[in-house]
Amino acid sequence: MLTYKIKKTPYVNEWHCRAYVNGIRDPQKDYFADSLDDAKHTVRCEIARATTILDLRTDNRPEKGKKMSKCETCNGKPTEYKAIALWGKYTGSYQYYIENQQNQAALDNAPISAIYRNQDGTWSTVDEVKNVELKAWLQNA
C-alpha cells in the first residue's frame, strides 16, 4: 500500500511529499511541491495511479528532488476547475465538497469547463447550462 506524509521544508514555498510502501520509506517516489494544495493533489494522483497500476516503477516521474511542473496523472491542478467552484457556490455546496469535485475532475481528465459529475461518471459542462445569465457568469470565471 502506498502512503505519503507531507512536510513543510525549511525553504519558502516548498513542501516535501515522502512516500512509504507498506510502511517502508521509498525515497524514489518522493515529490516536492510549491504549495500545500499542490502537495495534496500530487499525493492524491499518485495514490490513484498506484491503485490502478500495480507497477510502481518511476518511469515518467521527475527525478528525485525535482519539482513537478504539472501533474502527469490528471489534466491539471484542481484549482484550474473554476467553473466547478462557481457552480458549487451557486448551489450552496460546502467548500470540502467543491474541492473534492475539483480533485475528481482533475483525476478524471474532465473538460476544464466541467461544473459537476453525473452519477454515470460523465461531467456536465458550462455549455449545457440553459440559463443565459448563469452560463455567462460561469464562462467568465
Mean local confidence (pLDDT), 12-17: 76
Phi, psi of 41 (to 5 degrees): -65, -45
Give the total number of structural domains in the chain: 2
pLDDT tier, 52 (very low <50, low <70, confident <90, very high otherwise): very low
CA atoms within 13 A on the CB side of 111: 11
pLDDT confidence of residue 84: 92
Entry pTM = 0.52
In DSSP terms, 115 is beta-bridged to none
43 with 11, same domain: the answer is yes
SS (HEC) of the chain: CEEEEEEECCCCCCEEEEEEECCEECHHHCEEECCHHHHHHHHHHHHHHHHHCCCCCCCCCCCCCCECCCCCCCCCCHHHCHHHHHHHHHHCCCHHHHHHHHHHHHHHCCCCCEEEECCCCCEEEHHHCCCHHHHHHHHCC
pLDDT confidence of residue 129: 92
pLDDT confidence of residue 104: 81
62 with 96, same domain: the answer is no
Q: How far apart are CA 135 and CA 9, in angstroms?
A: 42
| The domain boundary residue, chosen from 73, 91, 112 | 73
Question: In terms of pLDDT, which residue wins out, 133 or 73?
Answer: 133
42 with 58, same domain: the answer is yes
Q: Which domain holds residue 66?
A: 1-73
| The domain boundary residue, chosen from 25, 55, 73 | 73
Mean local confidence (pLDDT), 51-70: 43
Most confident of 8-17, 74-83, 108-117: 108-117
pLDDT tier, 49 (very low <50, low <70, confident <90, very high otherwise): low
Question: In terms of pLDDT, which residue wins out, 44 or 18?
Answer: 18
Q: How far apart are CA 61 and CA 29, in angstroms?
A: 8
pLDDT 10s digits, 64-100: 444 444 455 555 567 788 999 999 999 999 887 888 7
19 with 57, same domain: the answer is yes
